[in-house]
């Protein structure tokens, strides 16, 4: 997902696969950090079992984007 696609998306929650290209990292890295070192991510997320979900609006705010 590109930043433009993220801005225009109607998704409430994003996956690591959605945000990884924007951050320039592997989606698995985001999942590992969320599990093992959540303080390193810097943006809000939630974990449910093995799944990591990232609120779209909070992620955009973390990037400095406003809607």
CATH number of the domain where residue 58 is located: 3.90.105
Split at pLDDT 50, 70, 90, the class of 1 is confident
Asked whether residue 22 is assigned to any structural domain, the reply reads: yes
Instruction: Check pLDDT > 70 for residue 67.
Output: no
Query: DSSP assignment, residue 14?
Result: E
| Bridge partners, 46 (sequence order) | 53
Range of the domain at 34: 3-62
**Whole-number pLDDT of residue 46:** 96
Average pLDDT of the residues in 19-24: 96
Q: How many domains does the chain have?
A: 1
Query: Is residue 67 domain-resident?
Result: no
Both tokens of 9, joined, read 């998306």
Please check the confidence at residue 25 and state whether its pLDDT lies above 80.
Answer: yes
Residue 43 phi, psi dihedral angles, 5° rounding: -120, 160
């Amino acid at each position: 997902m590109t930043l433009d696609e993220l801005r225009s998306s109607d998704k409430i929650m994003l996956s690591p696969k959605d945000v990884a290209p924007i951050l320039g990292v592997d989606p698995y890295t985001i999942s590992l950090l969320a599990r093992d070192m959540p303080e390193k991510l810097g943006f809000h997320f939630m974990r449910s079992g093995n799944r990591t979900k990232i609120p779209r609006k909070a992620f955009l705010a973390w990037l400095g984007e406003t809607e």
